[in-house]
């Protein structure tokens, strides 16, 4: 059986996350429960270990994520060497691929060493993304503080200021909602890579490469660009109708595996409403509501996780060029869970391709072509 884009094909078995009848779960726990109650560190532990952590395990994970979050000085120099117009996702991919140069046991694939690398990568990717923005602004690179949570530390390392409680709670929830999503393109890329027994850094680098494409990780950045281009509510219908007439894709709507709506979208919609009100950017929320209504009426499509995450991140003072790298911070937790699962019961992933080209052709010498 062949299918375009492998749609409907089960490529592996996994116990990490599920999408059944429109419900998303992490290790069997509904995403709604996790989004409303959990800390991101708890979700990281859950994805990697199968159960929520006890207090001592959670304390140790938080401590490790801070201790490993400081970047080598050589990585600081690398970040500062990039062209001033370099894209953040290109910077992120390059820096992550350089991390194993400073890892003594990079080729050691024992479960113990892989767990150690997993914590290092999860900790450092947050610092890297914050550092990318600070380097672009000519500011000092910061390291995480031991008294801060993971979400709190990222916002601090980005701005250099203590974030508000509201901002931390919103960002924590956004991290949880993006943490894993079954066998999406970047996750599948990571599993294919480590199935060759490449190291965990190679798997994460592959995943970042897949995430950088606009059909996967760049949608919320495109949504923010669309809102800025539209400008006011009065321009929404003319803009959308023209885009649809020209068969342009309106980013942030529809999803291959959700027919009745993305269960994560409602949480981000509520966050967008709350944050835009607090920051005086209510117009972006109101515009988003109007766009949602027009697309539902004209195309029958509902928002996915990317649509309202754009205005959430905008309200948190995050520049749109950083939206996809932030997606990578969160999704690294899921990528690592899948990488560890792949290592546990590994077999090289090598599908076949159904050949549909010409057959029984002979070689023709160059003078007779």
Q: What pLDDT does residue 220 have?
A: 87
Short-list 70, 67, 140, 126, CA closest to 102:
70
Q: How far apart are CA 285 and CA 164, in angstroms?
A: 21
Determine the average pLDDT of the residues in 221-233: 93
Domain borders along the chain are: 15-213+322-344, 219-315
The number of angstroms, rounded, from the C-alpha of 219 to the middle of its chain's C-alpha atoms is: 11
| Confidence band, pLDDT 50/70/90 cuts, at residue 2 | low
Q: What is the largest CA-CA distance in the chain?
A: 77
Q: How far apart are CA 230 and CA 116, in angstroms?
A: 47
pLDDT digits (tens, 9 = 90+) for 310-320: 999 999 999 99
Which CATH superfamily does the domain covering 219-315 fall into? Cytochrome P450-Terp, domain 2 (1.10.230.10)
90 is catalytic: no
Tokens 């999860």 sit on residue? 122
330/332 Cα distance (integer angstroms): 5
Calpha distance 145→214 (Å, rounded):
33
pLDDT of residue 219: 85
Any bridge partners for residue 23, and if so which?
Answer: 20
**19-76 residue pLDDT tens:** 998 899 999 999 999 999 999 999 999 999 999 999 999 999 999 999 999 999 999 9
Q: What is the CATH number of domain 15-213+322-344?
A: 1.10.580.10
Please state, in angstroms and rounded to a whole number, the distance separating the CA atoms of residues 208 and 322.
13
Alpha helix (H) residue ranges in the chain:
31-37, 40-49, 55-67, 73-81, 88-98, 111-136, 150-159, 165-177, 185-194, 200-211, 219-230, 236-245, 265-279, 282-299, 305-315, 323-344
- pLDDT for residue 3: 65
Tell me the backbone φ, ψ of residue 121, rounded to 5 degrees.
-65, -45
Rounded CA gap, 35 and 12, in Å? 27
* C-alpha torsion 7→329→32→218, nearest 10: -50
Amino acid 105: pLDDT? 82
Catalytically annotated residue among 178, 181, 255, 267: 255
Please name the residues in contact with 367: beta carbons below 8 A apart, sequence gap of 6 or more.
none
Q: What are the C-alpha distances in Å from 194 to residues 108, 198, 333?
A: 13, 5, 16
In tens, the pLDDT along 174-221 reads: 999 999 999 999 999 999 999 999 999 999 999 999 999 888 888 889
Please state the pTM of the whole predicted model: 0.93
Which whole number is the average pLDDT over 232-251? 92
Write the pLDDT tens digit of every residue in 152-167: 999 999 999 999 999 9
In this predicted structure, what is the pLDDT of residue 11? 82
Q: 15-213+322-344 with 219-315: one CATH topology?
A: no
Active site residue 255: yes
Count of CA atoms in the C-beta half-sphere (13 A) of 335: 32
């Amino acid at each position: 059986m062949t299918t375009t884009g492998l749609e409907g094909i089960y490529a592996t078995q996994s116990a990490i996350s599920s999408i059944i009848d429109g419900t998303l779960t992490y290790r069997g726990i509904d995403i709604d429960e996790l989004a409303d109650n959990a800390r991101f560190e708890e979700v990281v532990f859950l994805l990697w270990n199968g159960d929520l952590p006890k207090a001592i395990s959670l304390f140790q994970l938080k401590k490790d994520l801070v201790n490993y979050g400081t970047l080598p000085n050589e990585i600081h120099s690398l970040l500062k060497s990039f062209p001033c117009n370099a894209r953040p996702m290109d910077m992120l991919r390059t820096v992550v691929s350089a991390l194993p140069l400073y890892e003594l046991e990079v080729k050691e694939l024992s479960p113990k060493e892989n767990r150690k690398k997993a914590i290092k990568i999860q900790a450092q990717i947050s610092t890297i993304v914050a550092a990318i923005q600070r380097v672009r602004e000519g500011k000092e690179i910061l390291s995480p503080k031991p008294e801060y949570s993971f979400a709190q530390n990222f916002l601090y390392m980005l701005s250099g200021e203590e974030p508000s409680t509201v901002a931390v709670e919103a960002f924590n929830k956004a991290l949880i909602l993006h943490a894993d999503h079954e066998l999406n393109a970047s996750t599948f890329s990571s599993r294919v890579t480590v199935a060759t027994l490449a190291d965990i850094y190679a798997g994460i680098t592959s995943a970042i490469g897949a995430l950088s494409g606009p059909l996967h990780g760049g949608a919320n950045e495109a949504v923010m660009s669309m809102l800025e281009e539209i400008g006011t509510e009065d321009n929404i219908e003319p803009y959308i109708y023209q885009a649809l007439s020209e068969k342009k894709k309106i980013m942030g709507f529809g999803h291959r595996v959700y027919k009745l709506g993305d269960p994560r979208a409602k949480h981000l919609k509520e966050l967008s409403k709350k944050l835009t009100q607090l920051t005086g950017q209510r117009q972006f929320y109101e515009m988003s509501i109007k766009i949602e209504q027009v697309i539902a009426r004209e195309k029958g499509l509902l928002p996915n996780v990317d649509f309202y995450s754009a205005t959430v991140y905008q309200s948190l003072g995050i520049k749109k060029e950083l939206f996809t790298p932030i997606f990578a911070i969160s999704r690294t937790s899921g990528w690592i869970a899948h990488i560890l699962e792949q290592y546990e019961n590994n077999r090289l992933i090598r599908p076949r391709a159904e050949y549909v080209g010409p057959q029984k052709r002979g070689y023709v010498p160059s003078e007779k072509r």
